[in-house]
Structure 1
Amino acid sequence: MTTTPTGGPEVLRYTAFSADPAGGNPAGVVLDATGLDEERMLAIAADVGYSETAFLVPGADGLDVRYFSPLAEVSFCGHATIASAVAHAERHGGGDLTYRTAAGPVRVSTRRAPDGSWRATLTSVVPRTIELSADDLRTLLDVLGWSPDDLDPDLPPRTAYAGAWHPVLAARTRERLAALDYDVAVLGRLMAERGWTTVDLVHRQDARTFHARNPFPPGGVVEDPATGAAAAALGGYLREGGHVDVPATVTVLQGQDMGRPSVLEVTIPADPAAGIAVTGTAVALPVPGS
């Protein structure tokens, strides 16, 4: 759960959006990153090796938070927010916090569930969606090995934002979503050029349940098992496109196809200027090799 490099900060390891250490999305957590520069944070994230590590600097009116993959800094990360919030609650108690991120202020709350576990909720910055160009759509479909007929006509492709940008492609069938095979290098270059964090591939099982897969080459991994930022962006996409009757709460099931099942609860207010709330649990992980 904890490592403390010589002369360095305490580094925690948690998995988010699962109560089982074998599920969810692992994240590194540094609860006090005071004095760490960007180079040191990137080195710690690379040493941890997870898709993201959150670095928190406590302040009088909130926490300054930065997120690093092993390769680069990202503006916002949902699963590392949930992981760090639960880690913070276990040491300092639950309540409401403000995370000051590169994407803007994010409200975070932690509460104990009836079983004694901690649950955390993040409320994103105001989401928005933009058109996905025809050229980018063609390129994405080609890299993924999808055809236009594989897309759900009721959920048109868009690019969505709730702290980070994600193209949203909806598969017509669960089988299409399950068969993920793509050129990592080609997709990674496209995503770097466009400033996309993950590609949010989804399938709507029913009105309130979505399956998701998120290719994540910029984070140095083929796929993310739980992506809170993409879930928030999906909530904004669903509201703006009129694809759900709001207010609504939908469940995003992610990670099943890669053996790390995750559950993300997404609450979508009716107010178009309101952020999207994403809720989940998190549990500590053992230190590798311990």
Structure 2
Amino acid sequence: MDANVLRYSAFTTDPAGGNPAGVVLDARDLSDAEMQRIATDVGYSETAFLLPRQDGAFDVRYFSPLAEVPFCGHATIAAAVAHAVAHGAGEKVLHTRAGLVRVRVDARLSATLTSVAPRVAPLADDDLDRLLAALRWQRDELDPTLPPAIAYAGAWHPVIAAATRDRLARLDYDFDALAGLMAQCGWTTISLIWRESAELFHARNPFPPGGVIEDPATGAAAAAFGAYLATRDALPPQRCFAIHQGDDLGRPSRIEVAVPTDLREGVQVSGHAVKIDAA
């Protein structure tokens, strides 16, 4: 069965920027195999499939071109805005495979998702060594004030902070080695970060498990990174910050993150989304 696939770019107001996602507003008649085929045909890093429930909420499935993932932030923002365009703004309750996620869309088509309760854990030294080898990075190129860790807000992401913007800009990793390591460790993307200031970070996110070299905007990783900063006592006083991602790909993305004092409430990630017109 073929579905009506909408195409939206998240964390941008420009269709040429942000991270594109496929969106199917009603996937109740689709099998898992059909969802995977559609996501593969669409070719974006993720496609979100909404399955409306009788209680007004939604079950949501996320598929990359290669596999299903438990949660995807940018596809959530894209799907929420696409649904708001069709049915009106407001709050939506999403039942994802990672847990319950709430998304609020305002009249300006800006969406804010609240993640599942995040977690932060140490990154083992041998895993770090293998990760740096696959990235072709050296330990002395890392920011010692933001030590490596792994963080979760619906999916697991190692957080690796570069000491310089130049190091972040030079991304030339071993795709097969990194894909194998990530599959073994259960990581979804790698969150590569550079801190410009307390309120502004730059990010790049390799995504070989999805068959994508790099994600231009990664909402799930942004939420996880917010939790990471909270555990490091590295948040600004207002507990809000911005992430610029996709600049090195020519697809600028802007992600706003707000971190509650009680992480069990979930991290808020905000951004716009805009429809991509068919060619």
Give the TM-score normalised by the residue count of structure 2.
0.98
1:134-183 CA-to-partner distances (Å, cap 9, x unmatched) read: 00111111111111111111101000000000000000110100011101
> Is the CA contact (8 Å cut-off) linking 1:247 and 1:270 kept in structure 2?
no
Alignment pair present for 1:182 and 2:212? no
Q: CA deviation at 1:8?
A: 2.2
Q: CA deviation at 1:240?
A: 1.5
Query: Alignment partner of 1:273: what SS?
Result: helix
Matches within 5 A, 1:197-236: 197-236=188-227
Partner of 1:71: 66
For 1:10, give the aligned amino acid. Answer: N
Query: Alignment partner of 1:215: what SS?
Result: strand
For 2:125, give the aligned amino acid. Answer: A
Q: CA deviation at 1:247?
A: 4.7
Structure 2 Cα separation of the partners of residues 58 and 40 of structure 1: 17
Query: Alignment partner of 1:88: what SS?
Result: helix
> Is the CA contact (8 Å cut-off) linking 1:246 and 1:268 kept in structure 2?
no
For 2:78, give the aligned amino acid. Answer: A
Alignment pair present for 1:100 and 2:91? no
Matches within 5 A, 1:115-130: 118-130=109-121
Gaps of 5+ in 1: 1-6
Structure 1 Cα separation of the partners of residues 119 and 231 of structure 2: 8
Structure 2 Cα separation of the partners of residues 207 and 168 of structure 1: 16
Name the % identity. 59
Partner of 1:57: 51
Alignment pair present for 1:9 and 2:30? no
Structure 1 Cα separation of the partners of residues 205 and 51 of structure 2: 29
Count, aligned residues: 278
For 1:36, give the aligned amino acid. Answer: L
Partner of 1:249: 240
Q: Which runs of 4+ in 1 moved over 6 A?
A: none
Gaps of 5+ in 2: none
Structure 2 Cα separation of the partners of residues 254 and 82 of structure 1: 16
Structure 1 Cα separation of the partners of residues 182 and 195 of structure 2: 24
Instruction: Choose which of 26, 37, 48 in structure 1 pairs with 2:42.
Output: 48
Structure 1 Cα separation of the partners of residues 176 and 136 of structure 2: 15
> Is the CA contact (8 Å cut-off) linking 1:246 and 1:270 kept in structure 2?
no
Q: CA deviation at 1:274?
A: 1.8
Structure 2 Cα separation of the partners of residues 203 and 40 of structure 1: 39
Give the TM-score normalised by the residue count of structure 1.
0.94
Partner of 1:81: 76
Alignment pair present for 1:258 and 2:249? yes
Partner of 2:156: 165
Q: CA deviation at 1:271?
A: 1.3
Structure 1 Cα separation of the partners of residues 236 and 273 of structure 2: 29
Q: CA deviation at 1:245?
A: 4.3
